[in-house]
Amino acid sequence: MKISEKLSGMFVLHSSLGRTMTIFMLLLLTAVLMVSAWTLNRSWAHKLQDIRSNAVNLSVSQARQAEDTFLQTEITLRAIQRDIPNNGPTYANKAALSAVLAEMKRGLPQLNGLFVYDAQGNWVATAAQTPTGMNNADREYFLYHRKNRHGGSHIGHVIRSRSTGELVIPVSIRLNDSGGGFVGVALATVRIDSFRRFYSYFEMGDGDLLALLLDDGTALYVRPFPDSFINRSLSSSPLFTTQLVRADRGTGTWNSALDNKVRIFGYARSGQYPLIVAAGFDKSALWSQWLHDSMPDLVLNGMLLIVIVMIGTVVLRQVRTNVENQIELTTLRDELTTINQSLQALALLDGLTGLANRRQFDIFLAQNLKRSAISGRPVGLIMMDVDFFKRYNDTYGHVAGDNCLRRVGEALKNLPLRQTDLIARYGGEEFAIVLPDATPDAALRIAQSAVEAVREAAIPHKSTALKDEVVTLSAGCFVLVGSDTGQDAQLIKEGADHALYQAKHNGRNRAVVNEAG
Ligand SMILES: Nc1nc2c(ncn2[C@@H]2O[C@H](COP(=O)(O)OP(=O)(O)OP(=O)(O)O)[C@@H](O)[C@H]2O)c(=O)[nH]1
């Protein structure tokens, strides 16, 4: 950027209009930016609020669904329990019991199998064909029931079915004899696939998750994670360390323990079973989606900002042009004023001596005679003429003659005059002094000092007829009180001229006053 452009830019800021426009544009820009930011921020906050509600609602509904599944399963187990003789499943009609189990399973597609074990873990009956010689005494649920006397159902960690190889959740109850002694276990295995299928009905993003968990933090199934995540302990997740400690349902945002992704979670604990459902929405995907949805607003706001900046630029450029024009006009005006003043001065000054010229002399004399006519106070005029100046020119040349006149002018300038007096070059080698409010005596005194000053300047003049051979002056004075008849200037000049003639006639180099006035 050129210096002049920088300067004019600064002038814009320093001019009050430029400053006001700049501040206005900046305020407008800030206001639009703030409104846009506030609107977008609100939109994002609403989006988060919606997601939190969705997450909680989904968790609650899925916790209910899981409860229903396990309740149906428990009811089935209770029905099986009723069909088993008091002294234990060993004494049951195994074929008939298996048929009952098969019939029960048919109505419950979420079940992988129904099983009855005796007190040693031997398979007594199943909903499918009973493989001979199978024993499940090593399973966690079997050991659990053998140890715990309570009659409630037990939901275990996910296992792989020995009969089908499928991943299943074991739901079991203890079988007691009439004395409360352990006589076996009834087991239903719930297909993980049933949850997999059910959870796949929900439209969720790739990074979103829906998890069925045991309340000890074990993952039973987590959509969309692979089966390798099943049975993983999430007990260190904020869900278990902080959220569930505070409330059985709620929302929160934390790094998922499964893949360290930040998700917005909703969760709900089952009131009936030790189950928890959590729904988590990938925050970065939500942000991208929100950005995508907000793009029209962002583009609109961006365009608004660009339009404001463009308008601002045009207005400021216009202001700059105006300021530049103003500066140019002011400079031009100042220059013209200076020129005008010089011209005015030049119009009133004599170019050779720098004294007032004839024009100024005439104006000044006329003004003072007018004032004199009003005040009644006299005006004095001294007319002066360089002696034998023709000879001077002839002897020294015209250039020297001009110099001589300049020096005579200098000598006159040094006279002790009042501020109100005026010395002028009347024309040629003639000079004049106007003395407002002067008596004839005072005028004569000043005329004599003028003659003396020129003589003392000692400008050589070898062709003069006078003996000192220096340039001399003759002066004639006249004093007049103005009468405002229009004749005053002529009268006073004639009076002074007459005295000058007398001075010349009397031998030059002297001053004479004409007392006739
Ligand atoms: N160098 C120069 N000479 C001027 C100027 N104005 C007038 N003169 C000359 O001044 C001379 C005046 O001569 P005169 O009017 O005869 O008077 P004088 O020779 O001074 O004689 P007295 O007035 O009788 O003493 C003329 O020769 C003019 O040419 C000027 O501006 N410069």
Task: Write the ipTM.
Answer: 0.96
Nearest to 472 by CA among 509, 425, 447, 432: 509
Q: Phi, psi (5° rounding) for residue 402?
A: -60, -45
Ligand 1 atom nearest 404 alpha carbon = 1
> Which of 393, 426, 472 has the most ligand 1 atoms within 8 A of CB, as the residue to mutate?
393
CA 18 to chain centre: 17
Could you give the residue ranges of the DSSP H alpha helices within 125-282? 140-147, 192-200, 238, 244-246
- Residue 388 CB less than 6 A away from ligand 1: yes
List 354's β-bridge partners, or say none: none
CA pair distance 65, 72, nearest whole angstrom:
11
* Ligand 1 centroid, distance to 472 Cα (angstroms): 13
> Which of 429, 454, 474 has the most ligand 1 atoms within 8 A of CB, as the residue to mutate?
429
CA atoms within 13 Å, Cβ hemisphere of 385: 19
- Residue 383 CB less than 6 A away from ligand 1: no
User: If you count them, how many residues does the chain have?
Assistant: 517
Q: For residue 204, give every residue at least 6 positions away whose Cβ sits within 8 Å of its Cβ, in sequence order, or none.
A: 210, 223, 224, 281
Average pLDDT for consecutive 10-residue bins of the chain (517 residues)? Answer: 49 68 84 89 94 96 95 95 87 88 92 94 85 85 94 94 91 92 95 93 92 96 94 94 95 92 96 96 94 89 87 85 88 93 87 95 96 96 98 97 97 96 97 97 97 97 94 98 92 97 97 86
Report the nearest-CA residue for atom 7 of ligand 1: 428
Report the nearest-CA residue for atom 31 of ligand 1: 428
Model confidence, pTM:
0.59
* Ligand 1 centroid, distance to 436 Cα (angstroms): 28
Report the nearest-CA residue for atom 26 of ligand 1: 390
275 neighbors 62 (Cβ within 8 angstroms): no
